[in-house]
Structure 1
Amino acid sequence: MRNTIIVSILLFIAVVVASVFYFGDLNKEEKKSVKPINYLPNDTYLISSFFNDATTDNIFKDFEIFEAIIGHTFQDHLTQLKQQILRNKEISNYLNDQEMFVSFHPEKNNIALLFSIPSSEKIDAEVINQLLPKIGSAYQVQQKDTLGIKLFSYKAEKSDSTFYVSYLDDIFFATYSKDLLLKTLDKKTPKFEEKQIEFFNKNNKRNTPFTVYLAHQNLPAIVDKYRRNKPGDFLRQFINLKGQTAWNINYKQDALMLSGESELEEVKGQYIALFANQRKTTQRLYNYFPSNAAMFIEYSYSDAKTWQSDLKAWHAVTDDSKQLEGQTKEIEKDRSDLLTTFQSAMGGDFAVVEQNNSDYLGFINVQDSSKFLDVLSNISESVGDSTYRFRYANIPYRFYGEGMKAFSRPYFTRIDGLIVMANHLSTLQQYVQKWKRKDLLIGTLGFKNYEKIQGNEANVTVFLNTKNASNFLINNLEAPYSKNFRDNKEYNLQEFYSWSLQLTGNSGNFLSRLYAIYKSKNTLGVTPEWTYTMGSRLITGPFVFEQSDTSQFILTQEQDHTVHAVHPSGNKLWTTLFSGRIVGKVQQLKDRSLIAVTDRRRLYRFDTQGKSLKGFSTSIKDEPVAQPTYVDWGNQQMLLIPAKNRVMAYDLEGGPIEGWDNVQVEGEILGPIQFHDNKAIITSSYGRVYFFDSEGHKVQEIDVPGDINFIGNVGIVVRENQTLYYACDDLGDVYKMNSEGQSNKVFEGKWNSKFQADFENVHSTSAPELIVLDGPQLQVYELGDSLRRVYEYTFTQNVENRPYYFASGTGGLLSLGIAAQGTNLIYLFAENGTLVDGFPVEAQPLFYYGKINYNSANYLICTRRDFKLYAYRH
């Protein structure tokens, strides 16, 4: 199916929007009339209206979407034209704060723009004859009379284009097409009908940047102008809808958003019009679409009785009605209630997906599983491996109409309460494999940005992924538009992630929304402030440390164990080679020296120039399991390093400390050693918590009764001068312990066997929370006599990396970072559990977020597959 060229209409609408903002602006007063529309030919493709003042010059001056669509050269040309003619002091007093219209019109081999703007007062012909020649000092100006119409032409030096202006009935008309201008001013030219003009006037909203009008009768001509072939299965559902649409724009830097009303006429036989009698519903099928989806349409109805009645009437006027009637009699011979039972089993949400290889997938939700299973063997035949094929042709089409016509006698399987269909068994099998791998559209960065902007409540949602549909667009757009789509120097059309149209039933009409998501250069993760090249992938860091009183620096380690120190400007400070991989975090002491241990049993202490301090590096007795903990016991400073089941203690000169040689615990040490209330605290996998003094003597031990296996360090909570300790075991149960050694279970978790649990302060309290990563789900709990869930988030794939924690700048709170490696996306959560604006970002696991210099803004430091550090200012 080559119908993804519906995007050509969307692109065309965006061009109108783009052009407008170089000539018009916001209005703070009520829009008064649509007078110029009375003169426009009725074959006008699109019209937009706005007010001509100075406000939008500032608001939209960096709105990249316009330049991406209309091209850099045309943008410069329009800007120059606006400044030299429309803003010319000789004429500007007549045009300021006036409503202006930009309309697009068909020409033989082109599309022409017409600018129409009423003057603020009537201008005599004598004044016009004196005024218009003066406003184009940078142009060659000529005056002509053609068919009784006075035209003024403006031509710049070294240009083949001529701009024509005429003044009639207190309205200025201007265009590059002389033929269009004459056609517009000719009273014999068919104009818009009065009811259309009334609709445009009714929807000419106040206090909006501008409004876009679309007369539906010209949709076939628009499609014919852009598309090489006849409309395909998707597109033909829309292009014959009669009526008109008016949209208003909502401003967002990285998205084009238009919303408004679509009025329908002559709906008999129009499939999409069936949904105008429905109420919006929550659409969820898109959660199952594969990542290579080029386009999809998801349909949904709220009232099954109305839908079935309207669909029956629609079928009656189609060419297939007699065939379906005959088939009904044949099917009911075997089982009289088969069709009615199947219909009652199926739900009101269905969708068609076209993949980037042109294969179809169909989705229908099942609302009554028992009824569905009752008729499964009658309506289908098994082909093995939980896969079936309909016994009869056109079953989906019978109950869902045009939206399902692509599936004559498809194969299908059941997934999570819905059926997934394909015309070829291999297509269905490939999808099942994608589903098992969670290789889905919702797991991509662009779709997540799309979800932030466009809701999922509607009756019809059309979605096109620009990248996945790029081959379709290139092959099916007419040559000039295909060339523009491919031209990344002049245009940036391929930087649009998606185009989408949503329709919601509104008592026989539609509320409609058109959205285009753009990869703006200002979007986090798009335009780095600097990059730093390494020789292999990142394995440790990035960390940010103090270098001096005036500067900080970034520290990382790559796979060959080289450690890099990078200035906040992105320049290399120094590199050095460590023996082994750094275990855990690098930490900075008060004298700015840094300490780290590696998996080759080495302890490092070095200064901010990368030079080892006296006594370092030094060999340690066992392989560490976490980073060292710096402890200051007043008369003794030391580094406590956890090994598998023992503790190694070293002084700040690299020498071992007596008394700690034989410190061992039962089970395995979990994470770095903690220091609280002048005691070193060690958590053991055997459900025990040990407390040691400065001499290495055990002063207390908490042993939770039973066969308990802790999976991570305890969380330490101080409330009302009482210290409590929380720990999570491998079954998901959470225990609370007090300083006297008493313990009790406060929570019974029901998590998968590979879940992860940390205790960190990431929410708006003064104590740590329990952070659980359970497969694809993140859950955060407040600690107390019982656990209270404060927020959760579900990712599209299982998360195996441990969370990252970054200083948020709000007291002791931390920002919570997650790297979902299967999706190549990184996430950052604020203290209230919402995603930080700009996230997720496409990057590899291991990243840093926060300040990179004392007075800097927040930065994201991350890596991609090219062995570079990227610094993005946020």
Structure 2
Amino acid sequence: MKRILVVVIVLFTAIITMAYLYFSRLNTERENNDNDLHAAVNNSAVILSFQNDKSILDILKSQPLFSEIIGEENYNQMVSLKNHLLNVPAINSIIDQQGIYISLVPAENRKIDLLYTTQINQEATITQLLAALKSSKALLQEEKAITRITLTDSSVFYFGVKDNLLLLSSSDKPIRDVIAAKFEKNNEFVEYIKLNSRLSKTSLAELYINFAKLPVLLKSVIPGKLTGELSILNNQNSFASLVYNYSKDKVLLTGTTKANDANNYYQLFAKLAPQKITITNILPINTANYSVFTIDNYANWKPLLDKWLLTQKTDEAIENTTEKINQKYHLDLAQVFPKYFKDQIITFQLSTTERLGAINLSNGDKTDQLLLELSTEYNEEIRLFREETLLYAYFGEPFKKFKRPYYTIIDNYLVFANNASTIQSFLNSYKNNRLLINDKGYSYTINLLPNTACISFFVDLPHSTDIFRKNSFSTYYKHMISENGLKNYSSFTYQLNGDNGKFQTNMLINKNQQIITDSLAINIDSLIIAP
């Protein structure tokens, strides 16, 4: 009996010991796996991730769009890095099958640096990595904890290590920043990526976006503050995790977007049922961009809006204004917009930079009659609101800049702008059927995505050329109009569908269909780090 007891104790101890060692190793591996993520998100709002696996990257080799989107200079850097350094067998074997993160990091002189982050395999050591680097034909020069690498084609990169991480960039600052950084144990963005990533399971590549840091990155592209349609990115505390879907003629990513701020306006739509978008049918042919919001049941949505107005500290002013208007004009505003609004609101900007807004109505004639006392006549078709903030009071943030606009009601749509000439321009386009919906390229694009959404953002790139020229630094404008850049691209779409507090997301960057994409194909397998 004693012998049996001893054997049981020994076995039990062995099991406990093995379990401890196993889970200790798991925890160590998990910590190591997190290190590359922490490094990748440090000072970066946008991160691209893929696995260093030839079988995965081979699938991408006919993708013709990669170099055009990231820019020829950045693409050439990546090719040079692979061909002259990372393709060295001794180096590649140390990082084979590891995840690779490419982070966009804001830099000085209106530039954006690329930071490459990966881990070395468990069987390898930093010493082996350094030895492999020295055995290559690259010229190495030590510079205060990092190494300056001059490749055989004269390209210059900087190399650094932190724990088990390999860091590479064409600039030394992103690497020094990562080495000096103390990683937070509970970084919200890292935890979000870990929870949503499918990189090692089903996806070829993934894109992660931290919208809170995006304005800092965009300062390298756009001078001054984010204004106009881009102002929605200010104080936008949201994360996105998007999976790349293979295509030869477009970039399509799908995944989730999560608004972290409970007071975010978009949260008002996070639990709504998506609606079919039809209000875009009224847009003029020269529309540069638009933002659509759908509301399936206004009566249920209005209390959410009221709570949001409370967080913006505009609720009391709106309530007082509404009461004064009701008394002054002997109206009940609750019987106007809440009663006759249908289900969609939109703001849009024309290529001329003019901005407009619109809502669809269940009964345009009745709404027109009710608004007569609240407005003055400009001409037979256009009127001007007498009072301010009416549209903001009933629909919120998108209409904040339309304080006392001119408006017209036509075919059950109320369309408004801050200038009468803008409304007249809209009417001319609408009556003469010069509409965006008649553009074949636009029709093709919108048919690539579901026609239902809670929120949809769209940018027509050709119509936005002049706007971008006036609001971006010359380097990025030149990339937009370059044949080797974005000239042959038609549009950008970001579509959100409510899903119990988060958003199912589609992001589409589409190319002009008349372009023969095969002639622009790039050899993306030149980026593959293969043994």
Task: Name the aligned partner's letter for residue 459 of structure 1.
Answer: C
Kindly report which structure 2 residues correspond to 1:362-381, keeping only aligned pairs within 5 A, or say none.
Answer: 362-369=357-364, 371-372=366-367, 375-381=370-376
Find out whether 1:196 has 2:197 as its counterpart: no
Contact between 2:47 and 2:207, CA under 8 Å: does it hold in 1?
A: yes
Distance in 2 between residues matched to 1:495 and 1:482, nearest whole Å: 14
Cα deviation, residue 335, structure 1 = 5.1
The question of whether the paired residues in 2 share the 8 Å contact of 1:338 and 1:375 is answered with no
Contact 1:521 1:527 in 2 (8 A): no
**TM-score, reference length from structure 2:** 0.84
2:134 matched to 1:141? no
Q: Which residue of the partner structure matches residue 429 of structure 1? A: 424
Contact 2:259 2:266 in 1 (8 A): no
* Corresponding residue for residue 446 of structure 1: 441
1:283 to 248, 270, 277: 277
One-letter amino acid of the structure 2 residue matched with residue 249 of structure 1: Y
For residue 493 of structure 2, what is the amino acid of its counterpart?
S
Separation in structure 2 between the aligned mates of residue 179 and residue 407 of structure 1, nearest angstrom = 43
Distance 1:219 1:419, change over 3 A: same
1:766-824 deviation per Cα after TM superposition (whole angstroms, max 9, x unaligned):
xxxxxxxxxxxxxxxxxxxxxxxxxxxxxxxxxxxxxxxxxxxxxxxxxxxxxxxxxxx
**Pick aligned residue for 2:286 from 276, 288, 292:** 292
d(CA) in 2 for partners of 1:77 and 1:223? 21
Residue number among 288, 294, 303 corresponding to 2:297 in the alignment: 303
The answer to whether the aligner puts 1:240 opposite 2:240 as a matched pair is no
How far, CA to CA, are the matches of 2:212 and 2:390 in structure 1?
A: 33
Report SS of the residue matched to 1:493.
coil
Greater Rg over alpha carbons, structure: 1
Separation (CA, whole Å) in 1 of partners of 2:175 and 2:42: 14
Q: Which residue of 1 aligns with 2:89?
A: 89
Instruction: Find out whether 1:391 has 2:386 as its counterpart.
Output: yes
C-alpha contact (below 8 Å) 1:299/1:351 kept by paired residues = yes
Residues 233 and 406 of structure 1 are in contact (CA less than 8 Å); yes or no, is this contact kept in structure 2? Answer: no
Deviation at 1:52, TM superposition (A): 0.8
The answer as to whether partners of 1:458 and 1:503 remain within 8 angstroms in 2 is: yes
Which residue pairs with 1:113 in the alignment? 114
Q: Partners in 2 of 1:267 and 1:48 — Cα distance?
A: 27
- C-alpha separation between the residues in 2 aligned to 1:292 and 1:187? 47
Amino acid at match of 1:471: D
Instruction: Give the counterpart letter for 1:207 in structure 2.
Output: T
Q: 1:67 to 1:196 in 2, by over 3 A?
A: closer
Q: What is the one-letter code of the residue matched to 2:501? A: G
3-state SS of 2:262 partner:
coil
Contact 1:254–1:523, Cα closer than 8 Å, also in 2? no
Q: Which amino acid aligns with 2:246?
A: Y
Matched residues in 1 for 2:369 and 2:512: separation? 49
> Do the aligned partners of 1:38 and 1:192 also contact (CA within 8 Å) in 2?
no
- Listed one character per residue, the Cα deviations across residues 274-329 of structure 1 (whole Å, up to 9, x for unaligned) are 22242211111111100011111111122323421122122234364444233212
2:424 and 2:432 map into 1 onto residues whose CA distance is 13
Consecutive unaligned residues of structure 1, counting only runs of 5 or more, are: 1-31, 529-874
1:117 maps to a residue whose letter is T
Q: Letter of the aligned partner of 1:372 in structure 2?
A: T
**Counterpart-to-counterpart distance in 2, 1:94 and 1:103:** 21
Q: How many residues align?
A: 485
Q: TM-score, normalised by structure 1?
A: 0.52
Judging changes above 3 Å, is the alpha-carbon distance between structure 1 residues 522 and 421 closer, same or farther for their aligned structure 2 residues?
closer
Q: Percent identity?
A: 21
Contact preservation (8 Å) 1:237, 1:402: no
C-alpha distance in 2, partners of 1:420/1:145?
61
- Provide the C-alpha distance between the structure 2 equivalents of 1:213 and 1:515, rounded to a whole number of angstroms: 15
Matching residue of 1:414: 409
- Partner residue in 1 for 2:223: 228
Whether 1:315 and 2:309 are equivalent positions in the alignment is yes
> 2-side partners of 1:155 and 1:379: how far apart?
71
Task: Please state how far the C-alpha of 1:355 moved relative to its aligned partner.
Answer: 0.8
Match of 1:256 in 2: 251
Displacement after TM superposition at 1:374 (Å): 5.3
CA contact (8 A) 1:101 1:115 kept: yes
Using the alignment, how far apart are the partners of 2:244 and 2:359 within structure 1?
A: 33
Kindly indicate whether the alpha-carbon contact (under 8 Å) linking 2:57 and 2:204 is maintained by their aligned counterparts in 1: no
1:608 aligns with: none
Distance 1:430 1:202 in 2: 48
Counterpart CA distance in 1 for 2:101 and 2:280 is 38
Q: Which runs of 5+ in 2 are unaligned?
A: 1-31, 521-531
Quote the offset at 1:85 in angstroms.
1.9
Give, in whole Å, the separation in 1 of the partners of 2:40 and 2:99: 15
Q: 1:326 corresponds to which residue?
A: 320
- Aligned amino acid, residue 293 of structure 1: T
Distance 2:359 2:313 in 1: 24
Aligned to 2:204: 209
**Counting helix residues as a fraction of each chain, which structure ranks higher?**
2
Q: Which SS does the other structure have where 1:225 is aligned?
A: coil
Counting strand residues as a fraction of each chain, which structure ranks higher? 1
Deviation at 1:429, TM superposition (A): 2.3
1:176 matched to which residue of 2? 170
Q: Which residue is 2:523 aligned to?
A: none
Matched AA of 2:115: L
Aligned CA distance change for structure 1 residues 126 and 67 (closer, same or farther; 3 Å): closer
Greater RCO, CA 8 A, separation 6+? 2
> Within the alignment, does 1:470 sit opposite 2:465 as a pair?
yes
Q: Secondary structure at the match of 1:483?
A: helix
How far did 1:516 drift?
A: 1.0
Name the SS for the 1:234 alignment partner. helix
- CA separation of 1:362 and 1:125: change in aligned 2, threshold 3 A: closer
Change (3 A) 1:183 1:106: same
* Paired letter, 1:104: L
User: How far has the Cα of 1:176 moved from its partner?
Assistant: 1.9
